Structure 1
């Protein structure tokens, strides 16, 4: 750890389907763009669905499989898929999320974003949501890495890259994400305060047994690890972060 280490804990927010509701329909729009892109490079629709699932499972992102196996230019993919999404039609500022981020005690906590998207998409989403000014920095996937060699959540390398960028330790980290796999990935590395944002209840079963030390507790705290200070909680409303992370917010915030 370098001499300019900031002792404040750092709160990592996932972006897509976390800083906005999944009901916005961005996932469905993205699936359509990806399927069209598969068709563009000559992959039939029936095969594209199988490959999209396979690449997501094996590599965390479809683009990584496309680069490795189909020699796709990742920036062309970004232009045709992420950048082509009509986000202006579906994403609007959410006053409750804005207020929640505004109420974080910045004298005690740092606030960063951690996303599997390319930086252009990440900054575009934050701008449309009116949240860009609330984040000190964004850690995003480097689509320009040679042969799709960049890492992403839930790979340990990506979490370690994030820690290095923020000059932080796992014990300093708070983390909220809508993916059970991503939460598990951070938890096993010792990230201290992980929250699964499970808006529709489909992710909670995927947590499974996080590790041999995890034990069920309450309805909101699924696992409280026997390692001191390491825990995983589940919320269905984004504003419930105020309840599970009470220490994060200024005392008179609502």
Structure 2
């Protein structure tokens, strides 16, 4: 993904010597490098971004069907299961399909890169957008898992129950209510999401 984003910046006319540092700076500042490109370089036409970056990833080689993950999500006893991603809609749907998770989610909040001033995590407005799209008004009813500490910290600030997913066992964090090293560890830290008494 990083290589494709950097190549896209270069093809957009950004001086090659500045690309690597700009991509990193925009990612940290805006949550997505493409968000920084839109904000700081409005002259760049990004209509082919989804095709050349997200859509060009060989996800079928990188990912595989995960029956255990499907079973875990399927057994959750909660009102709504909602995807909240900084990716575009087509990328999100590809990932869900390849992992074998079709039909498990009530909806998805995604980034429409072509929308003027689109918002993305960790911008507070993106969390508000996710709640609105999911039809939730009480933030304390939102449970959130993410691998970005900035996203987890904002989720906590808006009143969500946030869990930081640390895929590197050596990584440490104080973000979120809980920290896990695999998404499949979620039932261990939030067993209430599987309790039969929940609606």
| TM-score using structure 1 length | 0.72
Unaligned runs of 5+ in 2: none
Compute the RMSD of aligned alpha carbons. 1.7
More strand by share: 1
Q: Determine which structure has greater relative contact order: mean sequence separation of CA pairs < 8 Å that are 6+ residues apart, divided by chain length.
A: 1
The question of whether the paired residues in 2 share the 8 Å contact of 1:55 and 1:64 is answered with yes
Does residue 1:246 correspond to 2:184, yes or no?
no
Pairwise CA distance, 1:69: 2.7
Residues 125-171 of structure 1: CA deviation (Å, up to 9, x unaligned): 1111111211110001121212xx01111111110111111121201
State the alpha-carbon separation in 2 of the partners of residues 202 and 137 from structure 1: 33
State the alpha-carbon separation in 2 of the partners of residues 113 and 103 from structure 1: 16
State the alpha-carbon separation in 2 of the partners of residues 68 and 154 from structure 1: 16
Does residue 1:232 correspond to 2:177, yes or no?
yes
How do 1:5-154 residues align onto structure 2 when only pairs under 5 Å count?
Answer: 30-70=1-41, 71-105=43-77, 108-146=78-116, 149-154=117-122
Pairwise CA distance, 1:45: 3.4
* Residues 206 and 67 (structure 1), Cα distance of their counterparts in 2 relative to 1, 3 Å cut: farther
* Residues 114 and 203 (structure 1), Cα distance of their counterparts in 2 relative to 1, 3 Å cut: farther
- Aligned partner of 2:166 in structure 1 is 198
Pairwise CA distance, 1:109: 2.7
State the alpha-carbon separation in 2 of the partners of residues 112 and 137 from structure 1: 5
More helix by share: 2
Pairwise CA distance, 1:180: 0.9
Shift >4 Å, 4+ stretches: none
The question of whether the paired residues in 1 share the 8 Å contact of 2:67 and 2:100 is answered with no
SS state at 2:128 partner:
helix
SS state at 2:177 partner:
strand
